Amino acid sequence: MSYCELCGHQTFEKKMVIVDGTVFNVCIACSKRGKPYVPPQIAVKKKKPLAVKPQKKIELADETILTPNFAKLIREARMKMGLTHEQLGMKMNEKAQLLKKFETGSLKPDEIFAKKLERYLGVKLYVSANSDEE
């Protein structure tokens, strides 16, 4: 036996209703004062594995390495084109300061940036590890 949470009367049969956003256990008479409450089904959500998009990453063979004189090659190619760091940066949509660091050798370009430099400057920055090019 339980009691109605609205009127306080003893009740044998109770219903769950929503009154002003709150769920109450009420008697049949008080059930007309609210909307019927249906408890949500607890569904076990199966996590779908996220579809991993293949990244467009330039994969280099293990036998290719960044040429040791990459800084000199970048500088000479830029000078040959008659461009300043700022002009080349604007053309490539990159920061001029970054290009300066590559030219001084204080920073090595990653694979993607090296391929971008190769494309814009017409130089070869990655060479075969087996070759004796320098």
- The mean per-residue pLDDT over the stretch 51-76 comes to 72
* 64-128 placed in CATH 1.10.260.40: yes
Residue 134 has pLDDT above 50, yes or no: no
Residue that wins the pLDDT comparison between 80 and 41: 80
Q: How far apart are CA 20 and CA 131, in angstroms?
A: 80
Give me 130's structure tokens: 């087996």
pLDDT the model gives residue 97: 92
Residue whose pair of structure tokens reads 């594995």 in the numeric block: 49
pLDDT the model gives residue 133: 45
Residue 131 has pLDDT above 80, yes or no: no
**At 116, is the secondary structure helix, strand, or coil?**
helix
H runs (alpha helix) in 30-128: 70-81, 85-92, 96-104, 111-121
pLDDT the model gives residue 1: 72
pLDDT the model gives residue 48: 66
Half-sphere exposure of 127 (CA within 13 A, CB side): 14
Residue 86 has pLDDT above 60, yes or no: yes
Half-sphere exposure of 32 (CA within 13 A, CB side): 2
Residue that wins the pLDDT comparison between 51 and 35: 35
Whole-number percent of the chain with pLDDT over 70: 80
**Domain regions of the chain by residue span:** 2-36, 64-128
Q: What residue type is assigned to position 63 of the chain?
A: E
Residue 124 has pLDDT above 80, yes or no: yes
Containing H/E element for 92? helix 85-92
Q: How far apart are CA 55 and CA 89, in angstroms?
A: 25
Half-sphere exposure of 87 (CA within 13 A, CB side): 7
Q: What is the pTM of this model?
A: 0.49
